[in-house]
Each structure stands twice: as structure tokens, then as C-alpha cells.
Amino acid sequence: MDDATQPSTQPYTDPRRRGLNNSGLDQQDIADIICILHPGSIAAHTAVAATAKRSSQHILQQDDGLEYDTGDTFSVEPNRDIALRFSSEVKNLSSGFYFGRNTSRCDIVLSPDDSEKKISNTHFRIYLKPDGILMLEDISTNGTIVDDAQIRRDRKGGAPTTQMLVHGSIIQVIGNETSCGIKFIVRIPSRDEFQAQYNQNLVQYLNRIRQATKKPEGDQRRDVHDFIIPQQICNSHGMRWNGGSKYNVTGQIGKGAFATVYKLATKNDGALFACKELDKRRLMKNNVLDQKVDSEMRIMRDLEHVRLQFPYFSGFGKLITFEAKYRSIS
């Protein structure tokens, strides 16, 4: 009998055969995990092992029967990742997840012992903003690197203190030896059919934070509602402009006959903007722009609201982009 020459339509390695989605995660995890940190260096694998020994709830792979060394040395298992979950018990709910050297103050341990002095007791934290944007804040002495950009608590050299994290972001902490630094790659799972459940968990999580930080009296902040648009795997979402050096395109808000509104966030502080993109090809008649363009611009120009800003207007190529501050109007 001849060997099969065509690949199977559903390979036996397909995670869906094991009740998992395309990300290889089960239903509970896919709706619970905020992001995954994949170790990209030996020091990062050692950090994962140290965290698994002390707080296994932050490890993604918990059901494969593998055990970590409980002695003074750590066996490095290359198939382990850090998973930040809504359901995780953390040191400080309102602050997100702390990373560092001090086991009593940090959720994720970056060093198995006290010898790595370039890692601060609390080196950085990863957290979600009230609008669902994933951020990293440096709280260390020596700084953190995100996507080759220095992030520093002391703002040395004009460095920002925070940076937005997206799918594929690289987090680095330089150790005593440059070659032995910690490196994590951020992964944001594809939610697929579990997006609605993830959105619900996100809203509940943000409301738990709001309640935890609520002042006894006079707190006028409202609960987070279901209309929040969560950060998704970072891509253009159909937008021709990629956001440049200042913005990340994080989602699509709505679409009309000749325009699409996208959700953008600034890379340094995660501030949200809505960006309306007009497709000139749909507005051209005999190589002349339709009056709809003037009408659209006139409507935008006449908008007045305390929560609306118009930073700039730019035209490039076949597209016109108009940007306004993204906030709900009420």
C-alpha cells in the first residue's frame, strides 16, 4: 500500500482533538489568562522554575505531571511558561503582578536566590489599566527593557516609566552578566469563540480592582461596563496605518460605508484614542473627491465635548486619517 501523499485535514497534533482551542489552551484558561510570558533565555527559564516552586498558580502548564526540584538547585524545564490570570491570588490586586527578587513582595520570582543584585526586590509590575490596556511599569533601580526601549522609574535620560505590552513584546532585565539576562516574550492568546467569556471576566476583574481601591465615601467612579473593548492580539485590524512609533492599533470599534473607526493606544502610557480612517477610493468619482468627504470633515470639526480632542489631521496615500480622543460621550 502506497504511503499517503496528502496531509490530514485535521492532524493528530491538532489541539482541538484534545478539547483545546487553536492556542493549545482549554476553555477555562483561554477566558482566564491575561497574557503568557514565554522564557527566552536560560535565566528566564530559571525564573520560571523558581516561581513554580513557590507559586505554581502562575505557571501555565500545570497538568503534565512534571515536577520541579524542591532542593537548593532548580531543574530547568524548557516547556514551562508564566501565565498571568484574572483568577490568580496576588500580593496586591490593585497593582497587578509584581516581578522581582523578594519572594514575600513579588508574585513572580525573577531570581532563585539573593545573588543577582541587578534585579531589584520589586523590579517591575504588569497590570491592566481601567480600559483594559496591558502595561508594564518599572519600579527598579536599574531599569527594564521593553522592545529595546529603556523603561526607568527615575526617568533617567528621558526614559518613560511605563510601556504598553502587546503580543510579541520582549521584556528584558539585564543581570550581572549581560549574556545572562532575563528575557520574556509576551503572548496574548487568540480568544476565538471564547472572546465573550474573556470580556466578561475582564469586566469582573476590573470591577474587583475598583472595589478594592474604593474610598469609604465620596468615590464617584462607576463600575466598568460590558461595552469595554479589550486589547486583542496586536495587528492592524485592517487599518492601512500601523500606528507608527507612537501608537499601537488595538482593535476595531465600528465600520461604515466608507470609513472605519479603530481603537489606538499610545505605546508609552496606554492612553486611548479613536482613529477614523476614510477610504478615498470609495469617495472618488471621476478622480474627484465626493462631497461626502467635506461633509464628514465638517461634522468632525463641529464636534465639541470636554472628552474630545483633535490632536492632528493627516492625509497620506489613498487614505485620510482623523483622530479623536477615545472616551464615551455622556
Give the Cα-Cα-Cα angle 137, 142, 147 (nearest 5 degrees).
Answer: 55
Task: Return the SS3 of 269.
Answer: coil
End-to-end CA distance of the chain: 71
List of residues 6+ apart from 288 with CB closer than 8 A: none
Place of cell 513579588: 106
Edge-first strand listing for the sheet containing 162-164: 108-109, 97-100, 124-128, 134-138, 162-164
CA Rg value for the chain: 23
| Residue 83: Cβ within 10 Å count | 22
CA 68 to chain centre: 29
Residue 246 assigned to a binding site: no
Handedness of CA 146, 148, 149, 150 (dihedral sign): positive
* CA distances (Å), origin 212, targets 5, 16, 218: 59, 38, 15
- 187 and 38 Cβ atoms separated by less than 8 Å: yes
Q: How far apart are CA 146 and CA 282, in angstroms?
A: 39
Q: Could you give the count of Cα atoms lying within 13 Å of 98 in the half-sphere of its Cβ?
A: 22
Q: How far apart are CA 316 and CA 312, in angstroms?
A: 13
- 157 and 131 Cβ atoms separated by less than 8 Å: no
* CA distances (Å), origin 242, targets 33, 112, 213, 277: 26, 40, 35, 12
- Residue 155 region, left (φ>0) first, then alpha (ψ -120 to 50), else beta? left
List the binding residues for ATP: 276
List the binding residues: 276
